[in-house]
Amino acid sequence: MSLLKVINCWKLFGGLKALQNVNFEADQGILGIIGPNGAGKTTLFNVITGVYKPDKGKVFLKNRDITGLSPHTIRRLGISRTFQIPRPFINETVFENVLAAGFFGRVDKVSKKELIEETEKILEFVGLIDKRDEEASSLNIHQRKLLEIARGLITKPILLLVDEIASGLTPAEVDNVVSLIKKVNEKGIGVIWIEHVMRAIMKAAERIIVLDYGKIISEGSPEKVAKDPLVIRAYLGEEIA
């Protein structure tokens, strides 16, 4: 079943067409989104999560129209996201960062005690339990990215949107986040994953969408997309796969 449907979406910033008639569906697998800098990938996430309203078009989550709803409502309906540059609650502890999302981003009724247990489980899962009581400001970039995932998971999302989680990490850290996201997907959470680190995304994604100048220029399996002349031209010699 398709979890997310994006239909004929447009997003303009003044004269700049950040998204032009974008159409796609996402299911329970891992969907990769690639494209050159400024292609509109993050804008697409902002439109899906309600940060921006599309100028035209609709977004459906499990056949429910969520276009134009506020970000906190969309979060509660089951879409979590991580930010390209992590945006933790910098003065709060790692634990509080996740707990806060748990308090407000969930629709199911959980007691505080259960939520605390679940928060700890998730910190364990992403590998941040040792940092439980440290302020988010003390985390390095890798840990901040893990925190983004933990904060995303506490609300039991249907769909996790991941924005460039591998960029800026060492190869070992990249492997760590790749296997983590695969594990998230194995729990039954659909993943849409924007990534520049081709080595990571080409291995993990079942299907890939390529955005260029706000348009989808190619779509298909990683192998198919990597050989597409349009894609190769968009990247102008940048190495793919």
Ligand X SMILES: Nc1ncnc2c1ncn2[C@@H]1O[C@H](COP(=O)(O)OP(=O)(O)OP(=O)(O)O)[C@@H](O)[C@H]1O
Question: Could you tell me which stretch among 10-18, 29-37, 95-103, 219-227 binds other proteins (CB under 8 A)?
Answer: 95-103
Taking alpha carbons only, the member of 73, 25, 29, 26 closest to residue 49 is: 73
Residue 51 touches which of Mg ion, ligand X, other proteins, none (CB < 5 to 8 A by kind)? other proteins
Phi-psi group of 236: left, alpha or beta (phi > 0 → left; psi -120 to 50 → alpha; rest → beta): left
Residue 13 touches which of other proteins, ligand X, Mg ion, none (CB < 5 to 8 A by kind)? ligand X
Position 88 contacts ligand X (CB under 6 A):
no
**Measured from the CB atom, is 98 or 197 closer to other proteins?**
98
For the segment 38-77, give every residue that binds ligand X (CB under 6 A): 38-43
**Which of 37, 63, 91, 111 is in the footprint of other proteins by CB under 8 A?**
91
Tell me the three-class secondary structure of 221-239, residue by residue.
CHHHHHHCHHHHHHHCCCC
Chain positions contacting ligand X, by CB under 6 A: 13, 16, 18, 35, 37-43, 84
Task: Summarize as ranges the residues that interact with other proteins (CB under 8 A).
Answer: 49, 51, 70-72, 75-76, 81, 83, 87-92, 96, 99-101, 103-106, 137, 151, 155
